[in-house]
Amino acid sequence: MREQEPFGVRLRRAMDTRGPLCVGIDPHASLLRDWGLDDGVAGLERFSRTTVEALADRVAVLKPQSAFFERFGSRGIAVLEKTVAEARAAGALVLMDAKRGDIGSTMSAYAAAFLDPAGPLFSDALTVSPYLGFGALAPAVEAATAAGAGLFVLALTSNPEGQEVQRAAGADGTTVAATVLRHLAESNAGARPLGSFGAVVGATLGDLSAFELDVNGPLLAPGIGAQGATPADLPAVFGPAARNVVPSVSRGVLRHGPATTGLRESAARFADQVREAVG
């Protein structure tokens, strides 16, 4: 099998050609109902297929939220496998939003589930949690590097509760979030044009100039749309690192379904607004 380019290289190219946007595939029960679908496996499959068919050939990143598939057991996972494969085949980069984090052999197993190119859930990147220590993510870092895949590590999330952990400081006064960002910058050292190891940083957090956000890697920015942030907010939040932001929008796009034209027009509008905001 031909060696795959690093995720950071592929992401930079996708953002430059398709626009800097990540659209979540989040089949909430309420969204299924809004689309006129049953909250069951058939509705899940129809929702996911429609989203992929509408967007996978034109947006940079699609981000299925694993939990909404897992809730249906093995049948839901089968839909997730098909969603990932079809989205990647159509040209989108797939970011699996699973937020896994553990130690030792368990972390290795999570990495194998999502970052092994031979596996049915292989994705271009995976969200992970560093709160057992950044070093505990080593199996995922190694698996991602070997596969040409990427990671997005929780750093400064958009939920208010996250601050009690992420902004807690150690004996030297350094916050947990700053430590995570430092590790990411070290992991991306020397990568061009963009490293493969990114941070999750909420677009709703306001001024983050106290943090070194330029980790030479992508910054996944949830909070655009339904959570209240807009593309115009990105420069103020991310400063010079805004050029590497991948805004994540879910309900803001998905609520325009199930019509293909509605999904496509909404995604294109968000991508254009981000381009205008960050240049």
Annotated catalytic residues are 99
Query: What distance in Å separates the CA atoms of residue 83 and residue 94, rounded to the nearest whole number?
Result: 9
Neighbours of 155 (CB within 10 A): 27
Query: What distance in Å separates the CA atoms of residue 214 and residue 202, rounded to the nearest whole number?
Result: 15
- Label each residue of 20-77 as H, E or C: CCEEEECCCHHHHHHCCCCCCHHHHHHHHHHHHHHHCCCCCEEEEEHHHHHCCHHHHH
The closest of 102, 110, 116 to 145, measured between CA atoms, is 116
CB 41 within 8 A of CB 80: no
Kindly state the tokens that stand for 276: 């205008």
Q: Which spans in 103-175 are helix H?
A: 104-115, 138-147, 163-166
CB 136 within 8 A of CB 129: no
The closest of 239, 193, 253, 206 to 61, measured between CA atoms, is 253
Fill in the amino acid letter for 147.
A
Phi-psi region of 187 (alpha: psi -120 to 50; beta: other; left: phi over 0): alpha
